[in-house]
Amino acid sequence: MTERLYFTDAYLTEFESLVTTCTPAGDRFEVSLDASAFYPTGGGQPHDLGALGERAVLEVIDREEEGIVHVVDGPLEPGTRVKGVIDWPRRFDHMQQHSGQHMLSAAFESIGQAQTSSFHLGATLCTIDLNRVVSPTDVAAAEDEANRVVWLDREVRVCFAPADEGAALALRKESTRVGTLRLIEVDDFDRSACGGTHVARTGAVGIIAVTGCEKFKGGTRVEFVCGRRALGRIREWREVFSLTSRVLSVVPKDLALAIERLQADNKSLSRTARELQSQLAVHKAAELVSAGVRADDERIVVVHAFEGWDASGLNAVASAAAASSGVCAAVFSASTPALVVVARASDVGLNASAVVKALIARFGGKGGGKPELAQGGGLQGDIAEMVAAARHLLATLGV
């Protein structure tokens, strides 16, 4: 069984230990020590990284009774002593997030009567899942309360107690573990059974910032960041807000209104463009039909690529052209990946869907439709080649 040095000293970054076993595991090796400061994945917290001697520690696994297993990139000789070095920036980041989670969960329970059912510490953000839906007011109040305790810089104590005394210890969440419980206590605020790494005083968390909430499985999933992560998020938002404010010529607090206006303007312009394209489509179709080429069976073949037209506009042109007797038409967007719409008059023996499928088979993409009207998208290649292929298909298929 490995002695877990991080249990009593989360700030320990270097230690010496005896290598007890080293087992090959593919192109890696699983190493056990008689004592280790490396934290293994568990309790919602990721494992530590670092080094054992000259070997990089890639993963740390908790094998319960067997102890802690260190997955390293090369062998270590059993019976020898080795120096372990913890990746401190990663460890301290995890300490800030995990301690912040304890305080935020305690705040939600005391203010919103919402209990934390699970916790996840990710690479960029953390989440807690609450057992009920909470309001924005509850979120703000819990955030304020958690940060109040952070800024009071209270002591965070580690202590141990028998599991059968858990009920008498007023734990925030009942523990199902057997044997000795490891407890994390924040003076006059929270007491929880936890095996993770934590800061020594609440002030080291820096700040707890809730970055988002959503309903999740009948409760609420709360996203948050603490300490250095919160600073990084503020810097990220600062750059985004600064750039967007300059582009839109508004102050950050007016960004939402400015974006809403842009969206409204864009919808209005899109409607206008569709209306104009629809009107123009009739004239364009007439021009294309008059310039169309007659195939052997006298059908009129119309093929053209349009710059800047969307699927609705292309559909309008093709349909307007096919309204004339004897016409079959294929119209493309000039940019790639290309759109294509194929249509034919009711008196033309051509399957528009078959034309689209043949184009997709050659140029990729997807699509389909009916014998009289079909369309496709995502076609890749040279537009001139697509136009030539469509012209050939319209002139020969069904003849």
**Contacting residues for 313 by C-beta, under 8 A, at least 6 apart:** 274, 277, 278, 280, 281, 306
Angle at 144 between CA 141 and CA 148, to 5 degrees: 140
Q: Is 355 in contact with 386 (CB distance < 8 Å)?
A: no
Closest among 210, 197, 223 to 96, alpha carbons compared:
197
CA neighbours within 13 Å on the CB side: how many for 11? 6
Q: Name the residue ranges covered by the structural domains of the chain.
A: 3-86, 92-243, 272-396
- pLDDT tens, position by position, 348-394: 889 999 999 999 999 999 999 999 999 999 999 999 999 999 999 99
Distance (Å, whole) CA 95 – CA 45 = 9
Architecture per CATH, 3-86: Beta Barrel (2.40)
The tokens of 281 are what?
């489509």
Topology alike, domains 3-86 and 272-396:
no
- Cα→Cα distances 392→117, 229, 349, 358, Å: 64, 60, 15, 11
Peptide linkage before 24 cis (omega within 30 of 0): no
Side chain identity at 49, as an amino acid letter? Answer: L
Partners of 161 in the beta sheet? 181
Q: Is 195 in contact with 177 (CB distance < 8 Å)?
A: no
The hierarchical CATH code for the domain 92-243 is 3.30.980.10
| pLDDT by position in tens, the chain (length 399) | 899 999 999 999 999 999 999 999 999 999 999 999 999 999 899 999 999 999 999 999 998 878 899 999 999 999 999 999 999 999 999 999 999 999 999 999 998 789 999 999 999 989 999 999 999 999 999 999 999 999 999 999 999 988 777 667 788 887 777 778 999 999 889 999 999 999 999 999 999 999 999 999 999 999 999 999 999 999 998 888 888 888 888 887 877 888 888 888 888 887 887 777 777 778 888 888 888 877 766 789 999 999 888 888 899 999 999 999 999 999 999 988 999 999 999 998 899 999 999 999 999 999 999 999 999 999 999 999 999 999 999 988 865
Distance (Å, whole) CA 386 – CA 247 = 39
- pLDDT tens, position by position, 192-239: 999 999 999 999 999 999 999 999 999 999 999 999 999 999 999 888
Would you identify the CATH topology of the domain 272-396?
Answer: Diaminopimelate Epimerase; Chain A, domain 1 (3.10.310)
